[in-house]
Chains A and B, each alone.
Chain A
Amino acid sequence: MKKFPQLLAGLLVALVAGSVHADAVLLNVSYDVARDVFKDYNPLFQKYWKQKTGENIEVKQSHGGSSKQVRAVADGLEGDVVTMNQANDVEFLAEKGLVAKDWPKKFPNNASPYTSAMIFIVRKGNPLAIKDWGDLAKPGVQVILPHPKNTGNGRNSYLSAWAWALKQPGGNDKTAQEFVGKVLKNAPLFAAGGRDATTTFMQRRMGDVLITFECEAELIAKEFGKGNFDLVYPSLTMQTEFPVAVVDKVVDKKNTRKQAQAYLDYLWSKEGQENAAQNYLRPRDQDILKKYAAQFPAVKTFTVDEVFGGAAKAFAAHFKDGGSFDQIYQSK
């Protein structure tokens, strides 16, 4: 215990010394599981920026539940940039006036430098022969997913199932809601978040199928071994985007706009795209996508804009209080 003040002092000195070197400090406010992506990306950018401008730049990271993170930025956390996993969260900052209203147009590809897709993870050998969304509604199949109303991961799963049902012969909003209701009936629980769902499925061995991001599957392989499960790509699924934006209010105050802009622009560079691919996120750059084709099988995807008319509309129709999710759980 006596060592503690010394330790603290040492830490402070180290921190101060570290930041004295930097000509500029950027704070990247990000969602929970983006740690690995940016841990690898930040040194790439620092090197690039040093070569280009001679400036030493330091990038700090803040990670947490994505909605919590943007609320923190709105409440005064001085993030120069936000790198999120749902458009809603950036939209919230736009409404609060911290981010440009037309933020999706500020960068290419709807301001999402890479994408992922919602896929299934099943037990080794796929004993229940689960091939597509339709199989998840069959009696006796247990489906594991995070809370469809409270988590981004769960919402993407919900909307994917909905969109698939819409595309079936005679599909409309009513049949889609019935179908999603059947899938949710097969869920023995709603996990607290993406990682909790993974633990429930892989470690506690609950359920027959886990709905999750394609990029999450690789992390599961690292953690639990590749031979423990199979991946299933459904016939149609959501292309999930990872929107980024410069926080105008903060960069104007800190005078870091140039660096913040460059930090996000560089995500679209060959190096940035390759880093995304190495973290199992589908790069926008077609050449790099081809290079990593082995880990990204072709899959038919839709975007929220195409099927639901945008993230805000989808959220309002399905996940606001009284929306389609709540209706499923209303007893008549």
Chain B
Amino acid sequence: MASNSRRVLPGFSLALGYTLVYLSLLILLPLAGLVMKAGDLGFAQILDIATGERALASFRVTFGASLLAATINGFFGLIVAWILVRYPFPGKRFVDALVDLPFALPTAVAGITLATLYAGNGWIGRWLEPLGIKVAYTPLGIVFALTFITLPFVVRTLQPVIEDIEAEVEEAAASLGASRWQTFAKVIFPAIFPALLTGFALAFARAVGEYGSVIFIAGNMPLVSEITPLLIISKLEQYDVLGATALATVMLAMSFVMLLGVNLLQWWAANRHRNTEPLEAAAGRAGLAGAQS
């Protein structure tokens, strides 16, 4: 279909071929190897490994903490991105650079630092502990570590999209009588929602696989604060590579389903927004709604 039609830029087949080879080598091949290795076990055995009490508990901890961390960042990351794009303030470049720090820091360093901060005698932990809030060595610590690690994903995804929304759109909404809240809810939020979902999905995916930072703050107690990657390491410690791949495969499948769900939601949101409602129209509608109320 592509070769007959004329395109502005040449080289479509070359680029597509390259993309397929690149993705195959980089992603599909290792993942296929993983699944094939796990396939040596047979479905019943994989199910057996994945539904053990410790495994189930670790899935709850890993996916629960990851969802929570991605959600927290969905909210606070949005605020950070908004401030960084919309408001000039002294030291803005510096704050902007800070956001990338969790990307650059080796995860083990992040974990050790957080554990030291939030331990009972740490700078922050000593104020929280009298209030009965324990962060280090509890599941809450896992959420904190994952929130730290995944912040850049949400902020960096949202920033260019927020930059694209011109101030005129807000002004139009306001001039048509929309309240501030209506302008946000009906004009701005629908425009950034797909990007927010992308950031959320990236953050979630990163959090699920995170190991280095979490083990130093988690406490690693069986059934309470064991993450699935720790169980995988535990299998490798026993030289049980098959068991490890089985757990990894189940994790992969669960992550894939969740990410697919997020992608579908995003696709739906983007389509609805783009096809039926250009920004200006949204601004007008918000304005009208504001005028009526």
Of B54, B234, B237, which is in contact with the most chain A CB atoms at under 10 Å from its CB?
B237
Q: How far is the CA of A319 from the CA of B218 in the complex (A)?
A: 21
**In contact, A330 and B53 (Cβ under 8 angstroms):** yes
Q: How far is the CA of A326 from the CA of B230 in the complex (A)?
A: 14
**In contact, A92 and B239 (Cβ under 8 angstroms):** yes
Q: How far is the CA of A79 from the CA of B220 in the complex (A)?
A: 32
**In contact, A190 and B221 (Cβ under 8 angstroms):** yes
Q: State whether A331 and B243 are in contact (beta carbons under 8 Å apart), knowing that A190-B221, A320-B238 are contacts in the complex.
A: no
- B223's nearest neighbour on chain A, judged by CB, is A329
Interface size class of B (residues with CB under 8 A): 20 to 34
* Count of chain A to chain B residue pairs whose CB atoms are closer than 8 Å in the complex: 67
Q: State whether A321 and B223 are in contact (beta carbons under 8 Å apart), knowing that A150-B230, A150-B234, A326-B54 are contacts in the complex.
A: no
Is A196 an interface residue, CB under 8 A from the partner?
yes
Contact of B120 among A147, A150, A191, A204 (CB under 8 A): A204
**In contact, B234 and A204 (Cβ under 8 angstroms):** no
Chain A binding surface, main DSSP class: loop
Q: State whether A329 and B54 are in contact (beta carbons under 8 Å apart), knowing that A67-B237, A206-B119, A320-B238 are contacts in the complex.
A: yes
A315: chain B residues at CB < 8 Å are 238
A206: chain B residues at CB < 8 Å are 119-120, 137
**In contact, B220 and A321 (Cβ under 8 angstroms):** no
Q: State whether A188 and B219 are in contact (beta carbons under 8 Å apart), knowing that A203-B116, A204-B115, A326-B54 are contacts in the complex.
A: yes
Against B, the Cβ 8 Å flags (1 = close, 0 = not) of A200-220 are 100111100000000000000
Is B122 an interface residue, CB under 8 A from the partner?
yes
The interface on chain A, measured as residues whose beta carbon lies within 8 A of the other chain's beta carbons, has a size of 28
**In contact, B240 and A189 (Cβ under 8 angstroms):** no
Q: Which B residues from 227 to 265 make CB contacts under 8 A with A?
A: 230, 233-240, 243
Contact of A199 among B112, B219, B221 (CB under 8 A): B112
| Inter-chain pairs besides A190-B220, A204-B119, A329-B222, 18 sampled, C-beta below 8 Å | A67-B237, A67-B239, A92-B239, A147-B220, A149-B234, A150-B237, A189-B219, A192-B220, A196-B216, A199-B112, A204-B120, A204-B121, A204-B122, A205-B120, A205-B121, A206-B119, A319-B238, A326-B222
Which chain A residues have a beta carbon within 8 Å of chain B's beta carbons?
A: 67, 71, 92, 147, 149-151, 187-192, 196, 199-200, 203-206, 315, 319-321, 326, 329-331
Question: Which 9 residue pairs spanning A and B have beta carbons closest together?
Answer: A189-B219, A204-B119, A329-B222, A189-B137, A190-B220, A192-B215, A150-B234, A205-B121, A150-B237
17 A-B pairs with C-beta separation under 8 A: A67-B236, A150-B230, A150-B234, A150-B237, A151-B237, A187-B221, A188-B137, A188-B219, A189-B218, A190-B220, A192-B216, A200-B119, A204-B116, A315-B238, A319-B237, A320-B238, A321-B243
